[in-house]
Amino acid sequence: MTDLSKTPDPSVMTGVIPYLAFGGRAAEAIAFYTRAFGATDLGRMPDPERPEMLMHAQIEINGGAFMMTDHTGDGPRAETPLPHGHLQLMVADGRAWWDRAVAAGCTEVMPYERQFWGDDWGLLRDPFGIQWSVAQPGPEHAA
């Protein structure tokens, strides 16, 4: 577990940062994302009243921040922290990212293959119900 008193690299904390509620499974999600996507644990803040729960946690995946909590508010717990849509990983080595995620326990929703728009792309579902796409720009889009 990492201490949140150390500030992460400011370049990680820019742009749009997903912040999802995992309903008691945030620590499990951190461990899984470390295996599946090479995440780095940037820090955790336990709930002072329920130390087994995370009030806040941060990880870094592919150079970007991803924040999470175990807090679900006063309403019913959602089946998945992201019921519609997906998180997209833009990477230079898509096949390696895809294979690692599948080996860690993600399931294929749409196969990883060259798409009509020219990129290599596929869609996965993690054990928490979140869908992730892995995308590698095709040769005509490469920098």
Q: Which two tokens stand for residue 11?
A: 């370049």
The reported pLDDT for the residue numbered 4 is 61
Whole-model pTM over 0.85: yes
Distance CA 75, CA 82 (A): 16
Domain at 100, CATH number: 3.30.720.110
Residues 18 and 57 in one domain: yes
Residue 81 domain-assigned (yes or no): no
Per the structure, the complete domain to which residue 93 belongs is given by 87-136
Question: CA–CA separation, 26 vs 11, rounded Å?
Answer: 23
Residues 19 and 51 in one domain: yes
In a domain, 141, yes or no: no
Which among 13, 16, 26, 32 is positioned nearest to 105, based on CA atoms?
32
Write the CA distances from 36 to 7, 24, 39, integer angstroms: 24, 20, 8
Q: Looking at the 3D structure of the chain, how many domains does it have? A: 2
Buried b (16+ CB within 10 A) or exposed e, 55-81: bbbbbbbeebbbbbbbbeeeeeeeebb
pLDDT of residue 70: 92
* Residue-by-residue pLDDT tens, the chain, 143 positions: 455 656 667 888 888 999 999 989 999 999 999 999 999 999 999 999 989 999 999 999 999 999 999 987 665 566 677 778 999 999 999 999 999 999 999 999 999 999 999 999 999 999 999 999 999 998 876 55
Report the CATH number that the domain containing residue 18 is assigned in CATH: 3.10.180.10
Are 15 and 65 part of one and the same domain? yes
